[in-house]
């Protein structure tokens, strides 16, 4: 009887572990693991993405993202800019700053994961989730903006790249007729790189232009995509960000800087033209991030961009 009880307890424990972990895709190359504070996506035993979503002070974000060769290219909360959380989306909403994390910043509050899944192995994107978020005023605690965020990630074998799709659907909360997005020239979907990638790298874009100088070497360039090639702890990598043609204010306004550190952000030009979202017409934005090991030529980036557009 005692042995039977031990077997039953073990089986119950195993069931709880499997349910709490939400491990998907046992028969696929990819799997998604939802833990108490972090969601992770794996390719076999190798992590591809980590996404902290609970017990983060100000916003959920992609903390780690790996090339096919296993190189993480993201840096989280460096000492010089603690509010730079690897790959994150932030902007100002009705004057409340959700980017910098000082002087009562806004908070993006995780509500739920509505759809955690593994796609079929022949799909462009293999594993992902949809998350409900409330953007909250720190003083009044009111919901200022509602977001449905979908992130999917996988490997593109034909071009040997890691591929991440980011879609955000923003809408005014029930008690507001509209909200206005504004902020600095770098607000949007921003990416901070490893410290080894901060110097010696090269930015380029589909338009083949240097862009408009905003201050110092900070530039804004309109293009379909923007890419950055640099050394990640001694290994060359290429990172490209894509903007979808159906995004508002396309082509994307890309913010780039290389001194004193490298940064790349997909923006909406709200520092010059604030953007109003009404209750009747939500704002849907679609972006992609693609990682390669080594230096990649423009034609391969264009190939990946075209493949993404056709898959949408």
The first and second tokens of residue 91, run together, are: 């902007």
Which residues touch 212 (CB under 8 Å, ≥6 apart)? 219, 220, 221
Residue/partner pairs of 212-218 with CB below 8 Å, 24 or more apart: 214/185, 214/255, 216/257, 216/259, 217/257, 217/258, 217/259, 218/185, 218/186, 218/255, 218/256, 218/257
Residues of the chain with pLDDT under 50: 2-27
Give me the pLDDT at residue 80, please: 86
Query: What would you report as the CA-atom Rg of the chain, rounded to the nearest whole angstrom?
Result: 20
CA–CA gap between residue 279 and residue 177 (Å, rounded): 5
Q: CA 39, 255, 181, 249: dihedral to nearest 10 degrees?
A: -100
Angle at CA 62, nearest 5°, toward 65 and 249? 105
Model confidence pLDDT, tens digit, residues 134-144: 999 999 999 99
Its CATH class, for the domain covering 44-311, is mainly beta
Q: Cβ atoms within 10 A of the Cβ of 16, count? A: 10
Give me the pLDDT at residue 206, please: 98
**Are 24 and 117 a contacting pair, CB within 8 Å?**
yes
Give me the pLDDT at residue 103, please: 83
Residue identified by tokens 């204010």 is: 249
Model confidence pLDDT, tens digit, residues 239-263: 999 999 999 999 999 999 999 999 9
Could you tell me the sign of the dihedral formed by the alpha carbons of 202, 205, 206, 212, in that order? negative
Give me the pLDDT at residue 115, please: 87
CA–CA gap between residue 249 and residue 4 (Å, rounded): 65
Instruction: Please state the domain extents for the chain.
Output: 44-311
């Amino acid at each position: 009887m005692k042995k039977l009880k031990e077997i039953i307890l073990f089986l119950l424990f195993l069931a709880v572990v499997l349910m709490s972990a939400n491990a998907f895709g046992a028969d696929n190359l990819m799997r998604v693991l939802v833990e108490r504070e972090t969601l992770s996506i794996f390719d076999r035993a190798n992590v591809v993405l980590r996404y902290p979503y609970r017990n983060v002070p100000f916003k959920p974000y992609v903390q780690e993202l790996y090339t096919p060769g296993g190189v993480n290219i993201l840096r989280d909360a460096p000492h010089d800019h603690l509010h730079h959380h690897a790959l994150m989306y932030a902007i100002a909403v009705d004057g409340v700053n959700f980017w910098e994390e000082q002087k009562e910043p806004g908070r993006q509050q995780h509500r739920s994961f509505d759809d955690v899944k593994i796609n079929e192995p022949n799909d462009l994107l293999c594993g992902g989730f949809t998350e409900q978020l409330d953007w909250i005023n720190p003083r009044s605690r009111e919901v200022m903006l509602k977001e449905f965020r979908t992130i999917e990630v996988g490997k593109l074998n034909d071009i040997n790249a890691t591929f991440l799709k980011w879609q955000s659907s923003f809408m005014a909360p029930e008690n507001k007729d509209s909200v206005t997005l504004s902020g600095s020239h770098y607000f949007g979907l921003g990416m901070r790189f490893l410290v080894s990638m901060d110097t010696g790298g090269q930015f380029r874009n589909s338009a083949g232009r240097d862009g408009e100088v905003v201050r110092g070497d900070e530039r804004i360039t309109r293009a379909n995509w923007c890419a950055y090639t640099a050394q990640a702890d001694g290994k060359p990598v290429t990172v490209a960000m894509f903007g979808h043609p159906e995004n508002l204010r396309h082509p994307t306004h890309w913010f780039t800087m290389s001194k004193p550190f490298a940064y790349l952000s997909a923006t909406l030009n709200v520092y010059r033209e604030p953007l109003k979202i009404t209750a009747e017409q939500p704002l849907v934005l679609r972006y992609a991030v693609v990682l390669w090991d080594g230096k990649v030529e423009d034609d391969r980036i264009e190939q990946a961009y075209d493949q993404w557009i056709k898959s949408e």
